[in-house]
C-alpha cells in the first residue's frame, strides 16, 4: 500500500471512530438531514410523477373534442353532426364518445363510465380501474351493481381490471357496453357526450377547430393544446405551491447548514488544535472533516431518497398527497407511481450534499489554518 493510500486509510479509520464518539450528535444530524432530503426528494418525485401522469393523460386525448353547449352548459350532442364534421376538409375521422359520471354512495366515490369507441365489450360486462376495484373490493369475476336513473339495480360482471399504466388515467374507469351505458342513465339514442375529431395534418388543428365552430355555432371545440394549457396551469399552480414548500425546506436546510458553518464546538476546536500540534497538516484535518461530512451527507442523501420513494410508493405521498393531487374525496383513491428522474436527483444532490460538506469544511479550515498554539489558547 502506498503511503498516500495508507495515510487516507488511517485518517478515515480515525474519522469513523471519532464519529462513533459523538454518536448522539451525529445521529441527530443524520436524522435531521435525512428528513430534509426526504422532504426535498418527495416533492421532486411527486412533481415528476404528476407530470408523468399528465403526459399519459394527454397521450390519449383526441386532437379536437366537440361539445354542444346549451345556455353555456355542456349538453349532449347529436350523432348527426358526425357526418357534417367529417365532410370538412382536413378532418380524418370523427367518433362520438359516450362517457359520464356515476356517484357510488357505498364507495363514497365518483366513477367515470366510458363506452369504448370500438364497442369491444359485451353487454352485462364491465372492465374496471384498480381504484374502483379497491374501493368496492371487487375482483375479476365479481359483480358490480350500479343503481340506474330509475333506481333499479344493474348487475355487471367484471371481465377484467384495467392495467395500471397510469392510475390517474384509469383508476376511476368503468368500461361498459353502449347498451348498458344508455340503459343505466336513460341516455337517449342518437346522442353522444361529445365528438372526438382527428385531423390529418396536426398543424391544421386550429383551422379545423375554427371551421367546426363556424359550421356548428351551438358547439365549442376543445383542442389538445387547450387541454395541455389547462394541465399546465394546474401543474404550474401546484408547482408554485410545491415551490413554496421546497423553499421552506431549503431555508430550513440553509439555517441548519449555517448553524454548522458558524463554528465548531469548543471540543472540536480543542481537538483540531491538538491534532495540529502533534503534527497533522491542515490538509489532513480537512480530509478528516471532508470524510466526516461526506459520510453523513451521502448516507442522509441515500436514506432521504429511499424514504421519499417509500413515501410515494407505499404511502402514496400521503403527507402532501391530499393537497397536491387536489382531487376531491369523491374521486376514487388513486396511487401515484413514483417516477425517478436522474436529473432531479442530481439537482437535489447538488443543492444539499456539497453545501453541507462546505458547511463542515469552512469552520474546520478556519480553525485548522491557525497556529496550533492559537487554537489551543482560544479554549
Partner 1 sequence: MIELLRVSKVFNQGRHNEYAAVREVSAVIATGRVTVIKGPSGSGKTTLLSLAGCMARPTSGRIWLREMRLPAGLGDGREVELSSLPERFLTGIRRGMFGVIFQQFNLIKGISALENVLLPAYPLGGDMAGLRRRGAGLLASLGMERQAASRVEWLSGGEAQRVAIARALINDPQVIMADEPTAHLDTALSREFMETVGRFRDEGRSVVIASHDPIVCGSPYVDSLIEMRDGDLTGQSAPTPPAP
**Judged by CB, which is closer to partner 1: 207, or 282?**
282
**Judged by CB, which is closer to partner 1: 165, or 281?**
281
What's the angle, vertex CA 112, arms to CA 111 and CA 114, rounded to 5?
Answer: 140
* Binding of residue 290 to partner 1 (CB under 8 A): no
* Binding of residue 29 to partner 1 (CB under 8 A): no
Name the segment binding partner 1 (CB under 8 A); options: 31-39, 147-155, 215-223, 277-285.
Answer: 277-285
Beta bridge partners of 98: 115
Out of 51, 52, 270, 313, the residue judged to bind partner 1 by CB under 8 A: 270
Tell me how far apart the alpha carbons of residues 141 and 127 are, in angstroms, rounded to a whole number: 10
Name the segment binding partner 1 (CB under 8 A); options: 12-20, 199-207, 229-237, 313-321.
Answer: 12-20
* Binding of residue 2 to partner 1 (CB under 8 A): yes
Out of 187, 231, 253, 280, the residue judged to bind partner 1 by CB under 8 A: 280
Min. distance of Cβ 362 from partner 1 in angstroms?
18
Min. distance of Cβ 9 from partner 1 in angstroms?
7
* 8 Å CB contact between 198 and 93: yes
* Binding of residue 373 to partner 1 (CB under 8 A): yes
Out of 3, 72, 105, 240, the residue judged to bind partner 1 by CB under 8 A: 3
* Binding of residue 24 to partner 1 (CB under 8 A): no
Q: How many CB atoms lie within 10 A of CB 212?
A: 22
Out of 228, 266, 277, 347, the residue judged to bind partner 1 by CB under 8 A: 277
- Per DSSP, the residues of 131-197 read HHHHHHT--TT-EEEEE-TTS-EEEEEEEEEPP-S-HHHHTTEEEE-HHHHHHHHTPPTTEESEEEE
Give the start-end residues of each E strand in the chain: 64-70, 73-75, 77-78, 91-104, 109-115, 125-128, 143-147, 153-161, 173-176, 191-192, 194-199, 219-223
**Judged by CB, which is closer to partner 1: 165, or 373?**
373
**Judged by CB, which is closer to partner 1: 21, or 152?**
21
**Judged by CB, which is closer to partner 1: 11, or 264?**
11
Tell me how far apart the alpha carbons of residues 94 and 221 are, in angstroms, rounded to a whole number: 13
Shortest CA distance to 155 belongs to which of 124, 201, 113? 124
Out of 143, 281, 299, 302, the residue judged to bind partner 1 by CB under 8 A: 281
What lies within 8 Å, CB to CB, of 306 at 6+ separation is none
**Judged by CB, which is closer to partner 1: 45, or 296?**
296
Name the segment binding partner 1 (CB under 8 A); options: 14-22, 91-99, 224-232, 327-335.
Answer: 14-22
Q: Which residue has the cell 481537538?
A: 271
Residues that bind partner 1 (CB under 8 A): 1-11, 13-14, 17-18, 21-22, 267, 270-271, 273-282, 284, 369, 371-374, 376-377
Amino acid at each position: 500500500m502506498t503511503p498516500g493510500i495508507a495515510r487516507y486509510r488511517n485518517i478515515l479509520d480515525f474519522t469513523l471512530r471519532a464519529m462513533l464518539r459523538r454518536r448522539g450528535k451525529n445521529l441527530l444530524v443524520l436524522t435531521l438531514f435525512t428528513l430534509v432530503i426526504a422532504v426535498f426528494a418527495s416533492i421532486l418525485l411527486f412533481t415528476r410523477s404528476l407530470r408523468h401522469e399528465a403526459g399519459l393523460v394527454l397521450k390519449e386525448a383526441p386532437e379536437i373534442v366537440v361539445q354542444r353547449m346549451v345556455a353555456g352548459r355542456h349538453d349532449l350532442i347529436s350523432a348527426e353532426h358526425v357526418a357534417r364534421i367529417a365532410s370538412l376538409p382536413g378532418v380524418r375521422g370523427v367518433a362520438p364518445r359516450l362517457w359520464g359520471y356515476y356517484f357510488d354512495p357505498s364507495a363514497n366515490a365518483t366513477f367515470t363510465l366510458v363506452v369504448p369507441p370500438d364497442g369491444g365489450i359485451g353487454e352485462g360486462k364491465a372492465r374496471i380501474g384498480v381504484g374502483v376495484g379497491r374501493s368496492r373490493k371487487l375482483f375479476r369475476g365479481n359483480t358490480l351493481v350500479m343503481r340506474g336513473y330509475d333506481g333499479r339495480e344493474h348487475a355487471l360482471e367484471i371481465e377484467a381490471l384495467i392495467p395500471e399504466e397510469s392510475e390517474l388515467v384509469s383508476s376511476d374507469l368503468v368500461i361498459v357496453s353502449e347498451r348498458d351505458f344508455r340503459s343505466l342513465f336513460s341516455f337517449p339514442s342518437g346522442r353522444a357526450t361529445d365528438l372526438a375529431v382527428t385531423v390529418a395534418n396536426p398543424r391544421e388543428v386550429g383551422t379545423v377547430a375554427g371551421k367546426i365552430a363556424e359550421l356548428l355555432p351551438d358547439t365549442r371545440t376543445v383542442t389538445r393544446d387547450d387541454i395541455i394549457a389547462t394541465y399546465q396551469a394546474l401543474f404550474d399552480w401546484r408547482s408554485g405551491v410545491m415551490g413554496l414548500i421546497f423553499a421552506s425546506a431549503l431555508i430550513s436546510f440553509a439555517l441548519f447548514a449555517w448553524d454548522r458553518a458558524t463554528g465548531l464546538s469548543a471540543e472540536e476546536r480543542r481537538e483540531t488544535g491538538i491534532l495540529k500540534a502533534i503534527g497533522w497538516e491542515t490538509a489532513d484535518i480537512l480530509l478528516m472533516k471532508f470524510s466526516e461530512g461526506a459520510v453523513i451527507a451521502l448516507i442522509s442523501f441515500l436514506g432521504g431518497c429511499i424514504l421519499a420513494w417509500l413515501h410515494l410508493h407505499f404511502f402514496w405521498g400521503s403527507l402532501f398527497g391530499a393537497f397536491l393531487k387536489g382531487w376531491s374525496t369523491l374521486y376514487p383513491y388513486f396511487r401515484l407511481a413514483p417516477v425517478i428522474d436522474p436529473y432531479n436527483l442530481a439537482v437535489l444532490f447538488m443543492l444539499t450534499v456539497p453545501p453541507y460538506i462546505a458547511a463542515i469544511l469552512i469552520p474546520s479550515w478556519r480553525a485548522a489554518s491557525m497556529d496550533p498554539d492559537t487554537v489551543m489558547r482560544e479554549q
